[in-house]
């Protein structure tokens, strides 16, 4: 009987213990301070409840009590000193109380327990920023970016405010090696912030290192900034660097003397830089992979899908040129049921000189087979860049509205030799 009674008492105690822990676990799931206090009262050996209550007293509106939060979080680390998350929360609470020594020790423990977790390096780096220790902060930012590039832009922004010297960030934060992606992200960031000199240094280092090919999108902002500012020589140099690095390639069959990049549309345009660009326009469909003049060639196809009398310039390209020169532009075009008397044509203008004259080729209307079009024009004394485009101006005579399809292939631009150009521009004597 005594044996059975002992077993029964033990079973009752065990059941009571199980119920108590279960009730504590239910209360411990809450982020309500009273429920968590009840959980601690029932299961005082569980560090999770001290951690959760510490978070409530650290961040919950109306209940913030930083000293009590720090005490509870210390208790959680005492009960389980091997969980980095507890030490991280303690470090944040100590930072909030300006207890630098406590935060330092907690963060050292965090990083010793979880050295490969990017978020903990982010927290540590920001701690050293707030406590005005830039060298230690930069070292943690460097390690952070070695682990996770997702923090790149935020890291660059904080570091630039911290040291106000983009070159220092390049030297001390960006990881060394031949992988260009992180430096290209920094290049993109600096370009967006207008830090041109520092961006130029990053680019020079990248080109000198001759890295493996990388995504063009990572340098697009840097390149287009020079084009938008009219700094043509710098843009051309970057474009040439990209060709040498193998990031961009001319189509193999393209005439190497052709100043138009991808003039035969044999590869998908980049929609940036010195390649073809497109504008999203209503009622106009653009296809860069239509059948071209040859059996295996491609062309640009434009469909005017709804009859409208609109001015359209769906596709264009920036082309570097030399001032005071004469050029000849040629292309092969065809059409199908172009209804308007103002058909599509090729146009050339100086995008940085609104008052300079523009030139355009003969238009194409109706239905026509492949046939050549050409345009001869002279650049002005300041012209270094032209905008070459497919253009359809508004019509002023009936029939005004345009519909139908237009193709263009083999767009070629060359500078005429000086003697030929002079003869071409001399006025002819009247007979």
Backbone angles phi and psi of 306, in degrees to 5 = -130, 135
Would you state the pLDDT for residue 428? 40
Which CATH number describes the domain made up of 277-416?
A: 2.60.120.260
Burial of 312-347, coded b for 16+ CB within 10 Å and e otherwise, reads: bbbbbbbbbbeeeebbbbbbbbbbeebbbebbbbbb
Would you state the pLDDT for residue 32? 80
Would you state the pLDDT for residue 34? 84
Give Cβ neighbours of residue 295 (< 8 Å, ≥ 6 apart).
none
Determine the distance from the C-alpha atom of residue 216 to the mean position of all C-alpha atoms in its chain, rounded to a whole number: 10
Per-residue pLDDT of 124-174, as tens digits, reads 999 999 999 999 999 999 999 999 989 999 999 999 999 989 989 988 998
- Measured distance CA(225)–CA(273) in Å, rounded: 10
- Give the pLDDT band of residue 13 (cuts 50, 70, 90): very low
Mean pLDDT of all residues in 331-343: 95
Comma-separated ranges of CATH 2.60.120.260 domains in the chain: 277-416
- Measured distance CA(56)–CA(62) in Å, rounded: 10
State in words which class domain 9-245 has.
mainly alpha
| 123-132: Cβ within 8 A, 24+ apart | 123/88, 123/91, 123/92, 125/155, 125/158, 126/158, 127/91, 127/95, 127/103, 129/158, 129/162, 130/95, 131/100, 131/103
Per-residue pLDDT of 264-276, as tens digits, reads 999 999 999 999 9
End-to-end CA distance of the chain: 141
Residue 129: DSSP 8-state: H
- Residue 17 pLDDT > 60, yes or no? no
Q: ∠ CA 254-301-370 to the nearest 5 degrees?
A: 70
Would you state the pLDDT for residue 178? 58
Comma-separated ranges of CATH 1.25.40.10 domains in the chain: 9-245
- Give the pLDDT band of residue 323 (cuts 50, 70, 90): very high
């Amino acid at each position: 009987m005594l044996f059975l009674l002992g077993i029964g008492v033990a079973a009752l105690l065990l059941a009571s213990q199980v119920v108590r822990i279960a009730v504590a676990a239910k209360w411990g799931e809450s982020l309500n301070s009273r429920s968590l206090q009840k959980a601690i009262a029932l299961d005082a050996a569980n560090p999770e409840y001290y951690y959760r209550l510490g978070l409530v007293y650290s961040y919950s509106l109306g209940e913030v009590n930083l000293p009590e939060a720090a005490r509870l979080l210390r208790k959680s680390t005492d009960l389980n000193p091997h969980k980095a998350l507890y030490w991280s929360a303690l470090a944040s609470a100590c930072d909030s109380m300006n207890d630098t020594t406590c935060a330092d020790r907690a963060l050292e423990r965090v990083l010793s327990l979880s050295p490969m977790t990017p978020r903990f390096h982010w927290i540590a780096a920001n701690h050293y920023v707030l406590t005005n220790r830039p060298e230690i902060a930069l070292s943690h930012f460097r390690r952070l970016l070695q682990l996770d590039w997702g923090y790149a832009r935020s890291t660059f922004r904080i570091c630039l405010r911290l040291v106000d010297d983009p070159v220092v960030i390049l030297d001390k934060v960006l990881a060394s090696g031949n992988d260009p992606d992180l430096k290209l992200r920094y290049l993109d960031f600096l370009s967006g912030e207008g830090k041109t000199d520092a961006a130029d240094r990053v680019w020079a280092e990248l080109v000198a290192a001759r890295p493996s090919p990388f995504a063009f999108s990572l340098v697009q902002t840097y390149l287009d900034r020079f084009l938008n500012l009219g700094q043509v020589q710098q843009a051309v140099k970057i474009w040439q660097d990209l060709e040498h690095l193998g990031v961009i390639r001319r189509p193999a069959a393209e005439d190497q003397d052709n100043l138009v990049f991808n003039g035969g549309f044999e590869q998908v345009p980049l929609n940036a830089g010195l390649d073809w660009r497109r504008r999203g326009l209503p009622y106009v469909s653009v296809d860069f992979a239509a059948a071209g003049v040859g059996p295996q060639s491609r062309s640009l196809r434009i469909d005017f899908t709804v009859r409208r009398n609109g001015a359209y310039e769906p596709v264009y390209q920036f082309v570097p040129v030399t001032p005071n020169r004469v050029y000849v532009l040629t292309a092969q075009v065809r059409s199908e049921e172009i209804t308007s008397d103002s058909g599509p044509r090729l146009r050339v203008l100086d995008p940085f000189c609104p008052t300079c004259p523009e030139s355009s080729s003969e238009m194409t209307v109706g239905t026509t087979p492949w046939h050549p079009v050409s345009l001869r024009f002279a650049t002005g004394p300041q012209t270094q860049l032209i905008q070459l485009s497919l253009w359809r101006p508004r019509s002023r005579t009936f029939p005004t509205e345009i519909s139908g399809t237009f193709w263009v292939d083999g767009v070629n631009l060359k500078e005429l030799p000086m003697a030929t150009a002079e003869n071409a521009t001399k006025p002819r004597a009247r007979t």
